[in-house]
Amino acid sequence: MRIGFFFNKAAYDFMNSSLKLSFRMLCRDWRAGELNVLIFALVIAIGGLTTVAFFADRVELALSRESNQLLGADLLVISNQPIPQLYADKAGQLDLAVSSVTKFPSMISNSDSSLLTEIKAVTEGYPLRGYVHLLSEKPEKLVSASAIQLARQIPQPGTIWVDEKVKMQLNLKKGDGVDVGATQMIVTEFIEREPDHSVGFINMNPRVMINATDLEATELIQQGSRISYNLLIAGEVKKVQQFRNWAKTQLTKVQRIEGIRDARPEIKAALERAEKFLSLAALASVVLAAAAIALAVRRFTQRHLDACAVMRSLGASQDFLLYLYLNYFVILGIIASGLGCVIGFAAQEILAQWLTGIVDTALPWPSWLPALQGLLVGLILLVGFALPPVLNLRSVPALRVLRRDIGLSNAHSIAGYAIGLIALSFLFIWKAQDLKLGLYVVGGFIVAVAIFSGIGWILIKILSSLRHQAGGVWRYGLASIRRRAASSVLQAVALGLGLMALLVLTLIQDDLITDWHASLPPDAPNHFLVNVQGDQLQSLEDFFIEHDIERPVMHPMVKGRLVKINGKKISLKDYADDLHAERHIRREFNLSWSDKIAADNAIIQGKWWNNDTIEAAISIEEGIAKTLRVKLGDELTYDIAGNHFSAKIASIRKVDWDSFRVNFFIVVPPGLLDNYPASYITSFYLPPKQTALIHDLVKTFPNILVVDVAVVINQVQQMIRQVSQAIEFVFIFTLLAGFSVLYAAIASTQDERIYEAAIFRALGAKKEQLSRAWATEFVILGGLAGLFASVGATLLGYVIGRHVLHLDYTFNPGIWLVGTAVGILGVLVAGLVGTRSAVSSPPLLTLRKIG
């Protein structure tokens, strides 16, 4: 019978007339103010949702752009041979900005002395992200912000920019000449810092920068030189990704691509967590929107029972009513959600303007995806939650015209909300853009709804049985909760979910920010000492004591090349498909020894050694174990200065690379490497005021290489500060969206309350008595919601913190108190404010309208 339905003339007329009637009905309801609550809830919910989504989108874009400054570009193509033109051509086709950097070590000299430096030859446009910071020529003066300026261009041909170390060691001033290979260049600027200065800081030489057009004249580029060719790429996120995907198919063995996340693990971790948090915030706002819409829809359908009954008694078919309301909701959904999107866009723009005043990052323009998502969320939620009750409405007995108390069967409503929930689940997974996070949230959501409803139902039954012990108005409050048990449970659950979403965000936000600050505390090591010799340990220690600096732990280090795994000689061919592994095998590893495991390391497999361990054991870092494809018990053989050293893997460690402390891929028990030449490495924190000490240190121990990572640390810390701020802003906005739920919850029972108020007043109740009766109800509702939220947030916070964001979750018992108190106070205040008009409207009007 349904086949050909849409091609049938009668069916067409049917559809057409239901569409027209839907539209007319919508207009009438709008005029009569029937839609106020529903539209308001929809607009606010979608407005809140899109605000958060738009803003999170922009922050995400800004964060990755910000962090890309540390790379000087969005993406690098790196090779030890000149990079083929086709990469630059492809980037050009994609409208991406391109620049290139050629780096190699070389001696430079002036009349006094010569120095091994890292020469960086750059082309026009460098750097594509971030700036080169130049120092004005007042060497004795303390470095202040005004003494630093941003470079507007690259060094002119024939000129050279040098960093502070070069300047000091060669005793240079502007205008001096320096020999670089076969040519002489004029020093024109001093570099304070470069964007990409930090990458691979361990083997860092003093740095100089020249114009790439001078490269040939230096005659330094020769067969066999150790040269790193870098092609810098930057532009729109999508196009960069497109380029990256294309480049992956083109790479030869000597080429690789690197984004900020490949280059800097600590930034990668911070960024990924921030992104997950932002999508969590967006998800939370979907939960809030869903709760608000579910509540508002409930009121709407209740008010439309009569209209349906009348239409049924006037001969409308069930199908007709279904199409009528389907059209009705789709039109309403598009209009209200559209309005919400517009408001959301405007709000996030204001938010962004405000934020740019506080952090010094210009936020990029957001994508349009959040608007589309907002529209869809509104439509799906409205239709998902409103249509099922309408499926019920169409089966409303026409008898309702005569007896108002004939209502809906609850079984249908529950099935209806199930459909809404399924629709919502799909939205979640889509919105999370992370299956794991999405599934956790959906799972948590569904389990929470089921458990909350069950507990709510039982608690309400228990509470209402107490009402016989309670006096008049209290009894009334309890009785109201019981009579509306289903809707009381719905309200408590919806409010509870909304509050839960907010509490989870609070918990996670706290943990996230604490974790970042903990991983990079203000006194995080900012200097490394490399190449300390064994016989210098004592005098270095004395130096630290003398200058009142906390004595750092010295880590021994022996260089060795991996030659055999399980007795089998390894060949590069075995790892030909893995550039990363190949690099590890080519170069020398740093082996260290220790009797205790480092504080920021954790054993994930096997056991750390104790004093009785006699056999040769190795503890290996998990990432490198994976790369080398070795497991617990495998024997590794290293070539150390011509001798072979073999040991079995006894444990696999997880290392927190974000900590800026010295860590090793390979650690062995003390004593095993005693016969090999060792040097020592350490990291320590030097307060900025004491940087002059470094000169003394270098003078006292000329062989020790001092690596200053203060700049890098500052950059990372600043980035983390910005991420934290962004997250706090997004959170505050999600909080605002929470109010839409509260509003909808109060509004959803407004009609009943106005009616109750009229009867109460006719029977002689004072306003205060009536308010007290309602307050009882609000306190119970709010308390239930707060309790649900606290339980849910504790569990969900743990799961998400632990399994999605990989944080050390700290249980916070205060959240129970806060959650319940916020629930009670929020619902009580909103409830009393929201019902003020109901208390004071003239009773007669209501009684006559209803009578």
Which residues are near another protein by CB under 8 A? 405, 471-473, 475-476, 479-480, 482-484, 756, 758-769, 840, 842-845, 847-848, 850-851
Least distance from C-beta 839 to another protein, angstroms?
Answer: 9
Least distance from C-beta 480 to another protein, angstroms?
Answer: 5
**Do 212 and 100 form a contact (C-beta atoms < 8 A)?**
yes
Q: Count CA atoms closer than 13 A to 361's CA, side-chain side.
A: 27
Least distance from C-beta 485 to another protein, angstroms?
Answer: 10
The dihedral through the CA atoms of 765, 463, 385, 312 has a sign that is negative
**CA pair distance 614, 672, nearest whole angstrom:** 9
Q: Which is nearer to another protein, 578 or 752 (CB)?
A: 752
**CA pair distance 89, 349, nearest whole angstrom:** 36
17-to-13, 314, 717, 788 alpha-carbon distances in Å: 6, 16, 64, 46
Q: Which is nearer to another protein, 407 or 688 (CB)?
A: 407
Least distance from C-beta 446 to another protein, angstroms?
Answer: 31
Least distance from C-beta 31 to another protein, angstroms?
Answer: 12
Q: What backbone phi and psi angles, to 5 degrees, belong to 183?
A: -130, 160
Q: Which is nearer to another protein, 27 or 845 (CB)?
A: 845
Least distance from C-beta 738 to another protein, angstroms?
Answer: 28
Quick one: 632 exposed, middle or buried, by C-beta within 10 A (0-12, 13-18, 19+)? Answer: middle
Tell me the one-letter amino acid at 752: E
What is the C-alpha R_g of the chain? 35
CA angle 426, 803, 813 (to 5 degrees): 105
Q: Which is nearer to another protein, 387 or 478 (CB)?
A: 478
Q: What tokens does 143 get?
A: 């470095």
**CA pair distance 825, 376, nearest whole angstrom:** 33
With tokens 């991983």, the residue in question is 519
8-state DSSP, 362:
P
**CA pair distance 161, 397, nearest whole angstrom:** 87
Helix (H, G, I), strand (E, B) or coil at 769: helix
Q: Which is nearer to another protein, 252 or 410 (CB)?
A: 410
Least distance from C-beta 25 to another protein, angstroms?
Answer: 22
Least distance from C-beta 846 to another protein, angstroms?
Answer: 9
What's the distance, Cα to Cα, between the start and end of the chain in Å? 44
**CA pair distance 120, 134, nearest whole angstrom:** 16
Q: What is the DSSP string of 541-572?
A: HHHHHHTT-PPPPPEEEEEEEEEEETTEEP-G
Q: Which is nearer to another protein, 261 or 482 (CB)?
A: 482
Q: Which is nearer to another protein, 471 or 702 (CB)?
A: 471
Q: Dihedral through CA 275, CA 276, CA 278, CA 283, nearest 10?
A: 150
Q: Which is nearer to another protein, 790 or 835 (CB)?
A: 835
Q: Which is nearer to another protein, 539 or 840 (CB)?
A: 840
Q: Where are the beta strands (DSSP E) in 171-311?
A: 177-180, 183-193, 207-211, 228-234, 255-258
Query: Could you tell me how far CA 264 lies from the centroid of its own chain?
Result: 17
200-to-132, 298, 543, 659 alpha-carbon distances in Å: 18, 60, 28, 15
Least distance from C-beta 766 to another protein, angstroms?
Answer: 5
Least distance from C-beta 236 to another protein, angstroms?
Answer: 56
**CA pair distance 425, 430, nearest whole angstrom:** 9
Least distance from C-beta 848 to another protein, angstroms?
Answer: 6
Q: Which is nearer to another protein, 604 or 759 (CB)?
A: 759
**Do 448 and 788 form a contact (C-beta atoms < 8 A)?**
yes
Least distance from C-beta 316 to another protein, angstroms?
Answer: 26
Q: Which is nearer to another protein, 196 or 756 (CB)?
A: 756
b/e code 777-807 from CB counts within 10 Å (16+ = b): bbbbbbbbbbbbbbbbbbbbbbbbbeebbeb
Closest CA to 746 of 146, 83, 41: 41
Asked if the peptide bond before residue 127 counts as cis, ω within 30 degrees of 0, the response is yes
Helix (H, G, I), strand (E, B) or coil at 615: coil
Residue 115, H or E segment: strand 114-122
Q: Which is nearer to another protein, 482 or 559 (CB)?
A: 482
Least distance from C-beta 462 to another protein, angstroms?
Answer: 17
Beta pairing partners, 304: none
Tell me the one-letter amino acid at 476: Y
Query: Could you tell me how far CA 469 lies from the centroid of its own chain?
Result: 52
Q: Which is nearer to another protein, 408 or 636 (CB)?
A: 408
Residue 711, H or E segment: helix 710-747
Least distance from C-beta 406 to another protein, angstroms?
Answer: 9
Q: Which is nearer to another protein, 289 or 473 (CB)?
A: 473
Least distance from C-beta 761 to another protein, angstroms?
Answer: 5
Beta pairing partners, 655: 601
Q: Which is nearer to another protein, 292 or 492 (CB)?
A: 492
Q: Which is nearer to another protein, 422 or 759 (CB)?
A: 759
Q: Which is nearer to another protein, 728 or 768 (CB)?
A: 768
**CA pair distance 614, 617, nearest whole angstrom:** 8
Q: Which is nearer to another protein, 696 or 768 (CB)?
A: 768
Tell me the one-letter amino acid at 406: I
**CA pair distance 506, 727, nearest whole angstrom:** 10
Least distance from C-beta 488 to another protein, angstroms?
Answer: 11
**Do 208 and 218 form a contact (C-beta atoms < 8 A)?**
no
Helix (H, G, I), strand (E, B) or coil at 663: coil
Least distance from C-beta 396 to another protein, angstroms?
Answer: 16
Helix (H, G, I), strand (E, B) or coil at 571: coil
Least distance from C-beta 835 to another protein, angstroms?
Answer: 15
